[in-house]
Amino acid sequence: MSDFITHQNWRYATKKFDASKKVSDQDIETLKEAIRLSTSSYGLQPYKVIIVENPELRSQLQPASWGQSQIVDASHLFVFANITDIQDVHIDELIENMALVRGLKVIDLKGFADFMKSKIVPLPIAQKEIWTAKQTYLALGNLLNAAAELKIDVTPMEGFEPEKYNEILGLDKLGLNASLVATVGYRHDEDATQHYVKVRKPENELFIKL
């Protein structure tokens, strides 16, 4: 656990990436697996993660990201896109996968499936969107922690225009909405932010013991 805390003190929201440094395919696979193993409500994982390497696409996305340089300079761009309208089919896909992996019959999981469908599917679309978007933040947490262990920089970003991302990446046609962006790569030597002392609330202000 001491290593985990050390890694958390090392990481920061990188403002300037070194465009000449690329994250290896092996490390990208590790980061993908960390995201895949993330916790989510019901284990539903109601999102997709789009990894954008294409420089032309990223140039198109930069103006929709308030012009931030990380979008084009980082090694990789991860876009977390939540499913906007969860339906029975999404739950059925989870149940079929669960039955396959655990050696069960789909019928054995009918109670669980029906419970999920009764709690999620009837919700208004706006409420479902909020709920699925929240799940992407859980996945982002795993990405941040895994990357810090590998000494890979990640900058989570909410400063972008989801509607334009959806249009450029064709997400709206897939029933998806860009909820979070994370730039992945290596900090530039000239990024002064890396030398800032980390500022967080002291323990006595952050925690309440009852």
Which tens digits make up the pLDDT trace of 27-82?
999 999 999 999 999 999 999 999 999 999 999 999 999 999 999 999 999 999 99
Residue 109 makes CB contacts below 8 A (sequence gap 6+) with: 95, 98, 99
Number of domains in the chain: 1
Provide the domain limits for residue 167. Answer: 2-82+137-184
Alpha-carbon dihedral angle through residues 146, 67, 172, 156, given to the nearest 10 degrees = 20
- Of the candidates 62, 51, 57, 47, the one whose C-alpha atom is nearest the C-alpha of residue 25 is 51
- pLDDT tier, 83 (very low <50, low <70, confident <90, very high otherwise): very high
Average pLDDT over residues 140-146: 98
Q: What is the mean pLDDT of the chain?
A: 97
Q: Tell me, what's the pLDDT at 2?
A: 78
124 domain-assigned: no
CATH number, position 18: 3.40.109.10
171 domain-assigned: yes
Average pLDDT over residues 88-102: 98
88 domain-assigned: no
200 domain-assigned: no
Average pLDDT over residues 121-144: 98
Does residue 1 have a pLDDT over 70?
no
Average pLDDT over residues 188-206: 97
